[in-house]
Structure 1
């Protein structure tokens, strides 16, 4: 008859499992990168968009804010052949669009910090047009920058 083990019996055993592959057969370690050559991880743009959208929807100065999804593609007919090309919005449409509680238009283009300077010409023209008409427009890489745009603290 075997005795049932108690939890204290496990303390006597080694907690380290022996290696599955002997050290002599292990492959060589990969070469290390030079300092400063590893890119920092950045959150995807969609995560930044969601955080900004959530924060702005709670802000008292924002009456309505929504994400604009620009779609473009070719329609396919019943015969399977591609027909005309359609686009849901004009080129240059920004990611977040809405209006403030005092009636100003809000237009925010969301970018990752590393791609902040990659605003297209059409997007820049749209942001400038909104700003010249008295709206709140800008490029944001974080919630703080988006709040600065909405509160009028950004140039």
Structure 2
């Protein structure tokens, strides 16, 4: 499990692609270029009324087409903000994982150093029923004293 995390941590955070900008032409009309519904004149005939309504419907269609690029541009800006927010969240999560891994490695390093302490306590330990000192000269000194105390050591004792 740690290996997969180390492999993941080796690279950069994943890139989130930005949305494509809207295809808005400079020649597109703006809402201010289109007049609202015209007022009907007095004494209008049915033919004139039909023509005026047709013209007003056409103007409304132009108004809707002019509104579309504005809405599309607002959507694009909103999508860019969302992508940036997600990118920052991913980057923050990546940094948090990186910091956690560094802290874990530091703790592992400290634990390894603590286990390999230079302090050789206890002074001796028991190995196979014999008291063995942790310092080599401490093991030799009692043997020398023991040999000196024996007047005639056997070849096995020597």
TM over 0.5: no
For CA contacts below 8 A with separation 6 or more, give which structure has more relative contact order.
2
Structure label with greater radius of gyration:
2
More strand per residue: 1
More helix per residue: 2
Provide TM-score, normalisation by structure 2.
0.20
